[in-house]
Homo-oligomer: A and B are copies of this chain.
Amino acid sequence: MIYLDWAASSVPDLYLLKKSVDIYSSYYANPSALHREGQNAQDFLNKCRKEIAEIIGCRDNEIIFTSGGTESNNIVINSVITKAGKKHKPHVIISGLEHDSVYNPAKALSELGIEVSIVNPEKSGLISAESIKNHIKENTVLVSLITVSNETGAIQPVKDISDTVMEYSKNKDRKILFHTDAVQAFGKVKFNPEELNIDAASISAHKIGGSRGIGILYIKSGCGLKPLYRGGNQEMGIRPGTENLHGIYNLSLVCRKNLSKLDNNFKKAEKLMDTIIKELSQINGTVFLPQSRLNEPEKFSPYILKVSFPPVPGEVLVRVLQDREICISTGSACSSRKKSRQRILISMGIPEKTAYSSVRISTGYETTEKDIDNFIKTLKEELPILQKASG
Contact = CB atoms under 8 A, between A and B. Distances in A.
Contacts of A231: 70, 73-74, 99-101, 104-105, 334
A338 to B, nearest CB: 6
A9 interface: yes
Interface stretch (A33-41, A137-145, A375-383): A33-41
B213 A8 contact: no
A30 B9 contact: yes
Interface in A66-84: 67-71, 73-74, 78
A246 to B, nearest CB: 6
B104 A32 contact: no
B34 A330 contact: yes
Interface residues of A, number: 78
A10 interface: yes
B101 A232 contact: yes
Contacts of A238: none
Q: Which of the listed residues A211, A231, A336 has the most CB atoms from chain B within 10 Å of its own CB? A: A231
Nearest to A75: B229
A174 interface: no
Interface stretch (A14-22, A154-162, A191-199, A345-353): A14-22
Interface stretch (A56-64, A128-136, A165-173, A315-323): A315-323
Interface in A1-28: 1, 3, 5, 8-12, 14, 17-18, 21-22, 24-25, 28
Contact of A232 (B1, B25, B335): B335
Interface of A: 1, 3, 5, 8-12, 14, 17-18, 21-22, 24-25, 28-38, 67-71, 73-74, 78, 99-101, 104-105, 107-108, 204, 206, 211-214, 228-234, 240-247, 315, 318-319, 321-322, 327-330, 332-338
Given A17-B24, A101-B231, A234-B334, 17 more contacts: A9-B29, A10-B28, A14-B21, A14-B22, A32-B333, A32-B337, A33-B333, A34-B330, A70-B231, A70-B232, A70-B242, A71-B229, A99-B231, A101-B229, A212-B242, A213-B247, A233-B335
7 contacts: A8-B242, A17-B24, A32-B336, A35-B319, A36-B327, A101-B232, A242-B334
